């Protein structure tokens, strides 16, 4: 494989201290872009609670197993950090320091290192030491309160909005910016990526609209939160749903005509008739199946699309044509994004199995001590081994803060 075909970050070395959620996802993004990501797994096994061979967030990485609580555990990680460009960790504040692999210890060995820290609440503040999960973080930023129908509890958007959008993506942006600075100046730094900060940042446009009086501070009453009858979802005759985004006049006009609701064209800009419009539109959508409505709106600019399931999405004609999803080693998964004209990112390897790459990493990174000591148990055995530190969901309780 040519250098160009390995992605724009080919040659960048990343150490990932194993965790769950946004840290691994951010490290996967760096690996997708071509970085040599070495994941330092725990002897106790994977934290996600699924067979590691199916954990797509560990694709394109290599894995070594290090017990950071052993006498020489920190030294092995510091040996890797000395040879790395980036380190990513997702512990609670102070844990990495107590383990001997905090920023001060790493920078003493490698002043150019970009030290990326992924947490929910951040490295300081009244809640920094508290546990939490995605839904906790997006709740206090106001983002969760935006989502859902009025009069009902807010709808939980899986863990996409907080963990990945407000967390992983901001960590990656920060790491790449700090890496650029380190290469220009020779000085590394710490990147404090807190999910609360990133999620709050995502609401910038809405805060501007709120300030201008163009957004009501309540759910389901605005242009983009389902309050507008031209922007939302509707149930079809077979229990499916269609997503409508016909905001502009020219799009909403086409939308209404295709619904055979042209008599409502003069009501498009009348907010007092939104409830009437929504009821009429909902009634029309319930007269046909999702497939039938998909055919009606096919090839138009009415901005209507079928709501697909995770298993259906890879087969959508547009996504299939673009290769938005790919299959590797029998796993259907999203392809790397975004796309690069000169240095395309690819899925090069499947999910790294804990400890499977120890000897290769020891050789390639010139850290012979990494291969010393007891061999980890086979990955297949560890995947099904009970872990006293996991919650019933398979999540390590001490890491719930991420």
- Sign of the torsion angle spanned by Cα atoms 339, 340, 341, 344: negative
Residues shown for the chain: 402
Helix (H, G, I), strand (E, B) or coil at 5: helix
Looking at 41, 79, 163, 197, which residue is catalytic? 163
Cβ–Cβ under 8 Å, residues 246 and 304: yes
Residue 92 carries which DSSP code? P
Tokens of 73: 């555990």
Helix (H, G, I), strand (E, B) or coil at 292: helix
Cβ-based neighbours of 17, under 8 Å, separated by 6 or more:
23, 40, 68, 77, 87, 88, 89, 90, 91, 96, 101
In whole angstroms, give the CA distance from residue 117 to residue 124: 12
Cβ–Cβ under 8 Å, residues 23 and 48: no
Tokens of 312: 């259906």
CA–CA distance from 62 to each of 197, 308, 356 (Å)? Answer: 30, 33, 8
Burial class (CB in 10 A: 0-12, 13-18, 19+), 36: buried
Distance of CA 349 to the CA centre of its chain: 19
In whole angstroms, give the CA distance from residue 248 to residue 253: 8
Looking at 10, 54, 107, 133, which residue is catalytic? 133
Is 133 a catalytic site residue? yes
Beta-strand relationship, 231-235 and 241-245: antiparallel
Helix (H, G, I), strand (E, B) or coil at 390: strand
Residue with token string 């958007």: 157
Cβ–Cβ under 8 Å, residues 402 and 57: no
Is 41 a catalytic site residue? no
In whole angstroms, give the CA distance from residue 131 to residue 113: 28
In whole angstroms, give the CA distance from residue 86 to residue 35: 10
Burial class (CB in 10 A: 0-12, 13-18, 19+), 7: buried
Active site residue ranges = 133, 163
């Amino acid at each position: 494989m040519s250098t160009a075909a390995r992605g724009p970050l080919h040659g960048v070395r990343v150490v990932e201290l194993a965790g769950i959620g946004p840290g691994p996802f951010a490290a996967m993004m760096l690996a997708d872009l071509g970085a040599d990501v070495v994941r330092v797994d725990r002897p106790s096994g994977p934290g996600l609670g699924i067979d590691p061979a199916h954990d797509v967030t560990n694709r394109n990485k290599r894995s070594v197993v290090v017990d950071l609580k052993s006498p020489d555990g920190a030294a092995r990680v510091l040996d890797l950090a000395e040879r790395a460009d980036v380190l990513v960790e997702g512990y609670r504040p102070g844990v990495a320091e107590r383990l001997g692999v905090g920023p001060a210890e790493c920078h003493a060995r490698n002043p150019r290192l970009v030290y990326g820290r992924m947490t929910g609440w951040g490295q300081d503040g009244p809640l920094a030491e508290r546990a939490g999960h995605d839904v906790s973080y997006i709740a206090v930023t106001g983002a969760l309160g935006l989502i859902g129908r009025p009069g009902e509890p807010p709808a939980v958007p899986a863990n996409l909005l907080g963990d990945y959008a407000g967390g992983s993506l901001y960590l990656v942006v920060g790491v790449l910016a700090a890496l650029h600075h380190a290469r220009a100046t020779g000085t590394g730094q710490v990147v404090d990526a807190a999910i609360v900060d990133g999620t709050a940042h995502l609401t910038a446009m809405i805060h501007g609209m709120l300030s201008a009086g163009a957004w009501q501070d309540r759910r389901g009453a605005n242009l983009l939160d389902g309050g507008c009858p031209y922007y939302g979802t509707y149930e079809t005759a077979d229990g499916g749903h269609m997503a409508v985004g016909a905001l502009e006049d020219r799009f909403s006009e086409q939308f209404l005509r295709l619904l055979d609701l042209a008599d409502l064209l003069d009501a498009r800009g009348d907010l007092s008739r939104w409830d009437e419009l929504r009821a009429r539109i909902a009634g029309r959508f319930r007269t046909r199946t999702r497939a039938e409505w998909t055919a009606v709106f096919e090839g138009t600019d009415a901005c209507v699309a079928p709501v697909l399931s995770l298993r259906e999405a890879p087969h959508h004609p547009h996504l299939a044509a673009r290769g938005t999803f790919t299959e590797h080693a029998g796993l259907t998964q999203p392809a790397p994004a975004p796309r690069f004209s000169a240095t395309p990112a690819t899925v090069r390897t499947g999910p790294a199995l804990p400890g499977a790459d120890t000897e290769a990493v020891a050789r390639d990174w010139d850290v012979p001590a990494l291969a010393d000591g007891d061999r980890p148990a086979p990955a297949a055995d560890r995947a099904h081994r009970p872990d006293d530190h996991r919650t019933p969901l398979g999540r390590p309780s001490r890491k719930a803060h991420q």
